[in-house]
Structure 1
Amino acid sequence: MHKVNFKIILSFLLLLSINFIFSQKKFTIVLDAGHGGNDHGANRTYDDIGRIAEKDITLAITLKVGAMLEKNKDFKVIYTRKIDEYPSLSDRTNLANRSKADLFISIHCNSSKKPTAYGTETFVQGPDQNDTNLEVAKRENDVIFLDEKDKQTFGSYDPSSPESLIALKLQQSKYLESSLLLGGLVEDNFVNKDKRTSRGVFQKNLHVLRMNAMPSVLIETGFINHPEESHYLASDKGQTEIAESIYRAVIDYKKAVDRKSGYAASTKKPEPEKPVEVALKNDFRILLLSSPTKYNDGDPALKGLNYILPIKENGLYKYYYGVTNLASVRDINIKTAKDAGFRNAYAVGFMPNQKLNTGYYTIEVYTGDKLNGNSFILQNLKDVERNKENGVFYYTYGKVQTLEDAVKLQKDLEAKGIKNTVIQKVAK
């Protein structure tokens, strides 16, 4: 009896458990605090609270959302920035794509020339639906001119061109449903939980969303130029409530995605098992043509087909294509032959390993003029037989009883450098 080392077994099981845990892909979210660094975004100065800048509010809300998500072991959070700096739009989208994120959330504050404008809005990528939110698109896209990389990446993009609209519609279709789902959940929470006014979810051509290969939203958390809303945005209470609404939307979004995936997996009808094809008793080769002419490999008469076996019988060379004992493959081979131009091709059955009752198979190694004693064939093969018909010399080698043995003998000759041989069926 071998003594079992339980410590080794336990260590092995623990290692497997750890590998399993870490192999599970977490739901990855990229949180983007809008603006930053030299890009202050929208800003206003008030007598009681002083100057407030969009870049500070978005960073505060983003960090709160991230802190809430990081408490959940199912999520992995990646930030485009955690300090007062300006990542280019290209940097933000490249980070999200490299991370193979499941969601991209960009957090912003709104602004308007009208001091009475207030409420939240969420945007998903797509062609502009109307002119209502042109100010948002212009303001969020204008930051491309702050960074040379963005100028090169986005500067020549014309959103009004027909090509761009087609590309946008193609791109948005892949992630639009998921993006709209998340956007709707965010806005619903703003209304139902925080008792705020939602202006809705809109499609807009926004560069920070356009390059993302995942569901993405840009959230305008409120108007910084509105006296009451700006104070709410600048307060810790307001920022916490907004963060909680976004956090809850992400939780509900993931649950919806999980339900949909689970539902699809559980309701998908299993594909019926295909019956196992039974092999036929015979091997089938496709007869392409019979001809008194010998064609070597690659001859145009063979029309580019490979795996051709010539068999000489009664003075005719018969050219067979492929070999199989499955009816499905046989039918495919017939179609291939006919598509290549052999319209009269048909299948011929060969009984495997069937010995000839009368006669034998041999290998025709050369036809043409008489070989001299220094020829490669005669130097490398013994017992070569020579015959002469109508002024043509025929050299053959070997005698075997089955076609399979003849094919093997032919391959042995090819290994010795003797090619373009033909199997010959000889009747006694």
Structure 2
Amino acid sequence: MHNVNFKIILSFLLILSINFIFSQKKFTIVLDAGHGGTDHGANRTYDDIGRIAEKDVTLAITLKVGAMLEKNKDFKVIYTRKIDEYPSLSDRTNLANRSKADLFISIHCNSSKKPTAYGTETFVQGPDQNDTNLEVAKRENDVIFLDEKDKQTFGSYDASSPESLIALKLQQSKYLESSLLLGGLVENNFVNKDKRSSRGVFQKNLHVLRMNAMPSVLIETGFINHPEESHYLASEKGQDEIAESIYKAVIDYKKAIDRKSGYIASTKKPEPEKPVEVALKNDFRILLLSSPTKYNDGDPALKGLNYILPIKENGQYKYYYGVTNLASVRDINIKTAKDAGFRNAYAVGFMPNQKLSNGYYTIEVYTGDKLNGNSFILQTLKDVDRNKESGVFYYTYGKVQTLEDAVKLQKDLEAKGIKNTVIQKVSK
């Protein structure tokens, strides 16, 4: 009898565990319809269709996106609002963080003093890249003055403070690439599916994104002050197309994230096998920029991107992003780099394990003033070479024939505590 009861209890616990595991596989998305309630957002009145308010358009599109996502059992959708009300910006971000959301999407409409401005834009959180889109930042950030709670939450943030910029850079680095991936997919759909004009993906310091602990985007679906675009935004057809483009971007985003993590939902029925993508002969890295300046990890010049490999050649530091031998991933990496601000980025092919016939790779371990014999580098490494050019000392270590061996040597040095090194290609 006791044995039977134990088996029953064990089976019950097993069922609970399975249900818990399956429930954990829900991909949680917070959909934020911009503005609302007393905050009308951008608005304009036209003779034929009357007044168009941003808060109404964003709510309509958000509910349509949510309805599409809710049909998919893999998603859990949370709304910051489903009616005409105004949740404070801190309420919106707190909801997303409490929900441990995987994604935050804030939907807005744009406006400009220029009546000719039109097109879509998607923003991700990060330091302002330039002085463009200041109208967007001012309009979206000034909403905090509508609510006392927001004044308290955001009032201590000072964009000119080193502490605030450090915190922003840490957050940006953690979620930037995923946010850029989603932003790029959204804008691609607007162009390729809806045949609209995209103004691009930009980094901007926006309060509704800054305090989110997950990848986040703010989508400006079009300009309310533009006569043709405003009519499109207000129409059922336009809202349906915009919602479907955002929905499909989310689907493709999750597929990309799942591929990256190797996750396969055990609750899904096996899909028909698709042709496996054939690997290319070369490995491809994305060249971001060439500069005589050496940038360490986390430098603002690298715009928050990770997986950067600097290679020094002929006195120039070349900064490469990512590595892959799949064409689809290569193209995604190019798009991510361009959306991050490297508009001239392009792919460079490297033959795997190719030996240099007229040179070698070495590791530049230090540049600057002359090191004394008690320095950590000279105490840790033997046979370090030293050169002096234009008053600057360059210390290098090791000689290998392939880039792969150079990367391995670089990682070995990092394990010994010698960081911020650079692979140098030397010609004989």
Tell me the TM-score normalized by structure 1: 0.59
Task: State the identity %.
Answer: 96
What does the per-residue CA deviation read over 1:175-229, in whole Å, with 9 as the maximum and x for residues that have no partner?
Answer: 0000000000000000000000000000000000000000000000000000000
Tell me the CA shift for residue 231 of structure 1.
0.2
- Distance, in Å, in 2 between the alignment partners of 1:390 and 1:121 is 46
Query: Is the Cα–Cα contact under 8 Å of residues 177 and 305 in structure 2 kept in the other structure?
Result: no
Tell me the CA shift for residue 167 of structure 1.
2.2
Query: Is the Cα–Cα contact under 8 Å of residues 112 and 135 in structure 1 kept in the other structure?
Result: yes
- Distance, in Å, in 2 between the alignment partners of 1:111 and 1:344 is 29
- Distance, in Å, in 2 between the alignment partners of 1:393 and 1:203 is 37
Tell me the CA shift for residue 297 of structure 1.
50
Tell me the CA shift for residue 169 of structure 1.
1.4
Q: Which moved more, 1:80-89 or 1:363-372?
A: 363-372
Tell me the CA shift for residue 415 of structure 1.
48
Query: Is the Cα–Cα contact under 8 Å of residues 184 and 339 in structure 2 kept in the other structure?
Result: no
Aligned length: 428
What does the per-residue CA deviation read over 1:23-66, in whole Å, with 9 as the maximum and x for residues that have no partner?
Answer: 43310000000000000000000000000100000000000000
Tell me the CA shift for residue 159 of structure 1.
1.6
Shift of the 152–194 alpha-carbon distance from structure 1 to 2, 3 Å rule, reads: same
Query: Is the Cα–Cα contact under 8 Å of residues 28 and 103 in structure 2 kept in the other structure?
Result: yes
Query: Is the Cα–Cα contact under 8 Å of residues 285 and 320 in structure 1 kept in the other structure?
Result: yes
Query: Is the Cα–Cα contact under 8 Å of residues 144 and 155 in structure 1 kept in the other structure?
Result: no
Shift of the 315–3 alpha-carbon distance from structure 1 to 2, 3 Å rule, reads: same
Structure 2 residue runs of 5 or longer lacking an equivalent are none
The alignment partner of 2:263 has SS state of helix
The alignment partner of 1:328 has SS state of helix
The alignment partner of 1:267 has SS state of coil
Shift of the 16–50 alpha-carbon distance from structure 1 to 2, 3 Å rule, reads: same
Query: Is the Cα–Cα contact under 8 Å of residues 364 and 394 in structure 2 kept in the other structure?
Result: yes
Q: 2:152: which partner in 1?
A: 152
CA-atom RMSD, angstroms?
19.8
Structure 1 residue runs of 5 or longer lacking an equivalent are none
Q: 1:40: which partner in 2?
A: 40
Tell me the CA shift for residue 103 of structure 1.
0.2
- Distance, in Å, in 1 between the alignment partners of 2:368 and 2:135 is 88
Shift of the 298–227 alpha-carbon distance from structure 1 to 2, 3 Å rule, reads: closer
Q: Which moved more, 1:240-249 or 1:309-318?
A: 309-318
Tell me the CA shift for residue 239 of structure 1.
0.4
Q: Which moved more, 1:236-245 or 1:314-323?
A: 314-323
The alignment partner of 1:188 has SS state of helix
Tell me the CA shift for residue 171 of structure 1.
1.3
- Distance, in Å, in 2 between the alignment partners of 1:302 and 1:196 is 30
Tell me the CA shift for residue 158 of structure 1.
2.0
Shift of the 284–254 alpha-carbon distance from structure 1 to 2, 3 Å rule, reads: closer
Shift of the 162–49 alpha-carbon distance from structure 1 to 2, 3 Å rule, reads: same
Tell me the CA shift for residue 87 of structure 1.
0.2
- Distance, in Å, in 2 between the alignment partners of 1:190 and 1:322 is 26
Tell me the CA shift for residue 383 of structure 1.
70
Shift of the 371–56 alpha-carbon distance from structure 1 to 2, 3 Å rule, reads: closer
Shift of the 277–85 alpha-carbon distance from structure 1 to 2, 3 Å rule, reads: closer
Tell me the CA shift for residue 245 of structure 1.
0.3
The alignment partner of 1:200 has SS state of strand
The alignment partner of 1:281 has SS state of coil
Shift of the 358–139 alpha-carbon distance from structure 1 to 2, 3 Å rule, reads: closer
Q: Which moved more, 1:64-73 or 1:288-297?
A: 288-297
